Amino acid sequence: MNMQLLESLLLKRINRLKKKMVKVAAITGMDSYQTLLYSQELDKLINLHMKHFSKKPRKMLTHAS
C-alpha cells in the first residue's frame, strides 16, 4: 500500500471519529466519559498522522535564559 493511500485512509478515519465525538459530546456533554474516550482516540490518530505525514521540519525548543 502506498503512502498516499495510507494517509488518505488515516485522514478519513480521523474525520469519521471527529464527527462521532461531536455527536456524542452534544448528547452526553463535553466532559462525559464517552466523549473523553473519543477525544483520546482522536489524539492518537492525529499524532500518528503528524509523526508519519507532517512535511514541516520539527524545531527543537530552546529555553530562554
> What are the sequence ranges of the domains in the chain?
19-53
Locate all alpha helices (DSSP H) within the chain, ordered by sequence. Answer: 3-28, 33-53
> pLDDT tens digit string along 20-50?
999 999 999 999 999 999 999 999 999 999 9
Residues 6+ apart with CB under 8 A from 42: 14, 17, 18, 21
Instruction: Name the pLDDT band for 57 (thresholds 50, 70, 90).
Output: low
Q: Model-level pTM?
A: 0.79
- The amino acid occupying position 60 is M
